[in-house]
A and B are shown apart, each in its own frame.
Chain A
Amino acid sequence: MGSLTIDNVKKCFGKVEVLKGIDLEVKDGEFVVFVGPSGCGKSTLLRVIAGLEDSSSGDVRIDGDSVVGVPPARRGIAMVFQTYALYPHLTVRNNMSLGLKQAGTAADEIARRVDVASTMLSLDPYLERRPAELSGGQRQRVAIGRAVVRDPKLFLFDEPLSNLDAALRVNTRLEIAQLHRRLKATMIYVTHDQVEAMTLADRIVVLNAGRIEQVGKPMELYNSPANEFVAGFIGSPKMNFIDAARLGDSEARTIGVRPEHLTVDPASGTWKGTVIHAEHLGADTNIYLDTEKAGLLTVRIFGVYDAEPGSTLYVTPDPEKTYRFDKEGRRIG
């Protein structure tokens, strides 16, 4: 059990409005990722859901019951923080059981739940250690374990992978995905990394400047972004935006085309350009071109492609996969 309804939530810090009216519905068992650039309000929204921050107006309901004014500990939530936030003076076992002890759970029930969680996260050998004796990845697993033990209606993750190195990040990401499948719990996950969002989410909520730009399945956002911001934020490398006037399109203001939807040819094509730089990643190659008509473009080619800086290439966009945006940034036909 664990649905979440956010109804016109606003949050001001002094005169600064950080959340400008957020409406969102999260179904039971869903994995929802809030993504957006720093300062877009995604963490604030998560803290409002957690009860660590009071909303200035609006309603938050968990399982249909309004939790406005309810302290965090009684909202039936658990949270995993970016900096792990383990209690330094307690062992792993006590870190995981503190919340239950505070709630007055029976000792044998606490022991049982800690055992289940530590087996699930392979923390058994570390139960009697203190956080200082663990590596970063282990600490974050303990933090996840501390959340699991509470058996919450709602899991909240606040950029949990940001402090881990690249290899560990991929592993932990996998573990969180498996955890979600096993527990079938409702999870809300905040990140600024669109790769995490794409790989983990059932649905992604893209936030910008305190507003929701678009909500949808990862592929919906990728294939049919509602506006220029979402189009630019989802997908890596970033979508190319071309001034529509340069291409003779009077209706639209910007034309967008993803780097992977451009093809290059040394002999002929739509736009002629000069190679500025090429990045060889093995599985694919990113080529940065300065074209006469469309300006600077990034092209992503699958596989290896030899392009010397300074050489001339012709770029052709896939007409099926170009996007047009009006002057408000909204997508048009």
Chain B
Amino acid sequence: MQRRRSSCLTRSQVFCLALGCVRAMPSVAQGTLTTPSILAPASTPAKEIYGLSLFVLLITGTIFVVVGGLLGLVIIRFHARKGDAEHEPAQVYGSTQVELAWTVIPVLIVVVLFLTTARIIFAIQGAPEPKSALDVTVVGHQFWWEFRYPKLGIVTANELHVPVSTSSNPEPTYLKLLSADVNHSFWVPQLGGKTDLIPNHPNQLWIDPQEAGLYRGQCAQFCGVEHALMLIRVYVDTPQQFAAWVKNEQQPGAQDPAVAAGRRVFETEACMNCHTIAGTAAKGTFDPDLTHLMSRATIAAGAAVNTPENLHDWIKDPNTFKPGALMPAMQLSNQQTDEVVAYLLTLH
């Protein structure tokens, strides 16, 4: 399925740019959810942008056909032929009327495009935050995402959970965007445009996904060595799923005596300086909160699937999945690593 869709796209690029885009759209929209395409919007800002983009495509496509067609016509009609007479063609130096015409028409097109664009800018940026909105603070780090839910008392990382927002029960999510170090950019194409996370410069972004599911995105502003593996997953939950997730996240970390050895390693080695596990001595804030690590599908900001083997390899040497990640290899013995992994596996 995926292969077929892609090859259809490459074929379409032999057509003109604008037409090619239009042709590609339906096939992309029907595709799997995994491609983070801006042509398959699932939230109001993304949909408004998509609608605007179709209008702009229509206008630019028309210009392309007209001007490109003129150019093609000139090439075909006026190329020098063997039988041509020797003398030079008639010399034309200009024409005020014609030149005025092709100045005025672009001016009119610019006015139309500008007014349409301005309307959408104000609609998206000026949308007032409703009372029912969920607040999330997003903090960008080299090279992972911290998500804080101030009203719910939840801190998590890399995988954002938000409720579905329907017209009967609107529950948009308002993201406050901060950065702990350098510039990042939050981009989940199907949910909305990107907005940068800039230190000393809080930004805001809102989404209201209307269909439950998983939406993927990633950092869109170069932020250092592992910029490429700073991935985002947004889980849009049904109200029941979301309530259950919130309830679980609000619990302190599980304390299973069977894995006390692992917890001791975690609390006595440097792990606790950077990571938090609620209910233990580990209160570090430099790196992801691990209180409910096992509720997440991936580790290392999406660089690897969250399996016991990957956890083991990651703790042994983070460079395995993510060369340049800021977590150091802790030089734990094999036994210590096994114990820590066993402990982490209980953190549901």
Bound pair (A, B): no
